[in-house]
A and B are shown apart, each in its own frame.
Chain A
Amino acid sequence: MIKILFFAQLRERLGVAELTQDTLPDTIGALRNELSQQSGLWAELLQKERCLAALNQEIVADNAKLNSGDEVAFFPPVTGG
């Protein structure tokens, strides 16, 4: 099982802050593709160019491997400071 979190515009526009899923895609990129299948909106918001991914609270590239129990987060480029 993996936990998936969404923040900022993604959370608002997708209308979801947190998901859990039992299936385990190989990588962050595979998970991104899988979630993008759900609708045009998901595909648009999860595009690599505008959506960063963190694995267990660290920003990672799409080839990062997933393991059961991982926490994944998708979010837009950060704007703090």
Chain B
Amino acid sequence: MHQDGISNRNIQVSVEAEDFDVNQEYHWLRENQMRDGAIVTFVGLVRDMNAGEKVQKLCLEHYPAMAFASLQSIAKQATERWRLGKIRVIHRFGELDLGDQIVFVGVTSMHRGDAFAAAEFIMDFLKTNAPFWKKEQTAKGSRWVDAKQSDQDKTASWQK
């Protein structure tokens, strides 16, 4: 367990309707530090197919009062497991089109192993704990996306 006193200003979380700019986020992760030699970033996008059906649009509902706190808590948990420099998490809500960016996770660490692991950990916990729900628009109408057992299994595997 590592708790190297990562300060709150080095954990930045946003829940927003607006799109984000990966360059800008990468720049923030990189600036004002020389210690970390690894930056891992992940971006999740709206796919055109799900459960065998063509998706036309996506609507993301969220629980505003809880969403931010939940992402913050997941990022904090990551800092307790790995020695990290900076963490950036962004989750969007509202109406999204095919190919749109939904989520951003960026992590810095001295070496790549911790950065890769922490980014995956944050995404896995976000998938099963952060209060967001996807509703897809298809040619047959709209439908709520079902939660996947494989996502639950991934989160559970970190708890072993």
Number of A-B contacts (CB under 8 A): 71
Question: In this assembly, does B129 line the interface, its C-beta being within 8 Å of a C-beta of chain A?
Answer: yes
Question: In this assembly, does A43 line the interface, its C-beta being within 8 Å of a C-beta of chain B?
Answer: no
Q: Which of A9, A54, A58, A79 contacts B132 (CB 8 A)?
A: A79
What CA separation (Å) do A80 and B62 show in the bound complex?
Answer: 9
Chain A neighbourhood of B94, CB < 8 A: none
Chain A 46-81, CB-CB to B under 8 Å as 1, else 0, gives 000000001001110000000000010101111111
Question: In this assembly, does A8 line the interface, its C-beta being within 8 Å of a C-beta of chain B?
Answer: yes
Contact A80 B91 (CB under 8 A): yes
Q: Which of B19-27, B33-41, B142-150 contacts A (4 or more CB under 8 A)?
A: B142-150
Contact B102 A76 (CB under 8 A): no
Give residues of chain A (1-37) contacting chain B, Cβ–Cβ below 8 Å: 5, 7-9
Contact A59 B129 (CB under 8 A): yes
Contact A54 B131 (CB under 8 A): yes
Chain A neighbourhood of B91, CB < 8 A: 80-81
Chain B neighbourhood of A77, CB < 8 A: 128, 147, 152
Residue of A nearest to B64 (CB): A57
